[in-house]
Amino acid sequence: MQTWEWGEFKRATGGWQPQRLAFERGGQVLAQASLATKRLGPLKVMVVSKGPALEYADRDLTLAVLLELEQRARSLGVVWLKIDPDVIAATGIPNGADDRPDKSGQALLALLRAREWRFSDAQVQFRNTLRIDLRRAEDELLAAMSGNTRRKIRVAAKKGVTIRPATVDDLPLLYQLYHVTGQRDGFLIRPIEYYQRAWRAFMEAGLAQAFIAEYQGEAIAHVILFHFGGKCWYFYGASGNEERGRMPNYALQWAAIRWAKAQGYATYDMWGAPDSFDESDSLWGVYQFKRGFRGILTRHIGAWDFATSPLLYYTYEQLAPRLLKLM
């Protein structure tokens, strides 16, 4: 979401105006930020999705970047500036035996609070996720999974499920399966043009890869991966209503993990885990599927807002949810 391509995608589909910043010291680029500004009626807002990108252990650099972003927010007159840096706050289930705070993440949280940033009520991206360390042999990755997950991967192979890479020619098929999944699972999806533009742009830029699971030549499920830097994300997944008992989603995940490792990525991010670790959370069922692959539960600091006018920000926060509900 800090790539050039993402900024252009948001410009084309949402009316956001991207601006890219590079922060240099001694001629060396040490930090970057892709900003996106949008007008909402008489007001303007600014977002730095999954950014800014920098080494947050460098406190002086972090402070310099925050100061620049704050000044730009004031000069542009935005109601709020939202950042959502890819910074880990802790790993493991909160208050569990494996709960491990991250020193750098905790320091950033303290700095944001000291500078009067506010934890956002509108968390755009998932705060928590499961990340698999790919710097292990395939046998080790498979052995680390739960017995049930390994069994279902084998079931898919025994029941005739095959996996093939997808191309841009498969985009209508990918959307068809995604539409079926949205209807079945009750989540809202956008028109086909939105996804075709996103998937095509990133696939053609070499930043996305899709895989399709088939049975007897018919597509029954798919995954779409985004990959950048040292990480590969499982971003979209879908399946038809038929042949789900053949466990195509397990076969797809194993194929995706193996592909990401073969491409040299160090991390496979399963993109999404609950905020509340109990059955009341809407992601609980998906989490049960993902946790079988035995990734590390990773909790990020989440999205934080900088308000240029506290009164205007408070008014916006009160009115925006009602307006969105009406829309």
Going from N- to C-terminal start, the domains of the chain cover: 4-124+301-326, 130-299
40-64 in b/e burial notation, b at 16+ Cβ within 10 A? eeebbbbbbbbbbbbebeeeebbeb
At 233, list the tokens.
């994300």
Taking the CA atoms of residue 235, residue 226, residue 300 and residue 63 in that order, the dihedral angle to the nearest 10 degrees is -150
Contact between 49 and 2 (Cβ < 8 Å): yes
pLDDT of residue 323: 67
Which pair of structure tokens corresponds to residue 182? 């949205």
Tell how many helices (H) and how many strands (E) occur in the chain.
10, 16
- Cβ atoms 90, 103 nearer than 8 A: no
- Please give the CATH superfamily to which domain 130-299 belongs: Gcn5-related N-acetyltransferase (GNAT) (3.40.630.30)
- pLDDT score recorded for residue 324: 64
Whether the Cβ atoms of residue 206 and residue 167 lie closer than 8 Å to each other: no
Contact 32, 21 (CB under 8 A): yes
236 vs 211: CA distance, rounded Å: 11
Q: What is the pLDDT of residue 195?
A: 93
pLDDT score of 315: 84
pLDDT confidence of residue 303? 98
Residue tagged 């194993």 (tokens):
254
- Residue 275: CA count within 13 A, CB half-sphere: 7
β-strands 17-25, 28-40: how paired? antiparallel
Question: Mean pLDDT of all residues in the chain?
Answer: 95
Coil vs helix vs strand at 219: strand
CATH topology of domain 4-124+301-326: Aminopeptidase (3.40.630)
pLDDT value at residue 40: 84
pLDDT at 199: 95
Residue 187, CB half-sphere, CA atoms under 13 Å: how many?
10
4-124+301-326 and 130-299: same fold?
yes
Q: Is this structure's pTM higher than 0.95?
A: no
The parts of the chain modelled with pLDDT lower than 70 are 323-324, 326-327
Q: Is 151 helix (H, G, I), strand (E, B) or coil?
A: helix
What's the confidence (pLDDT) of residue 36?
97
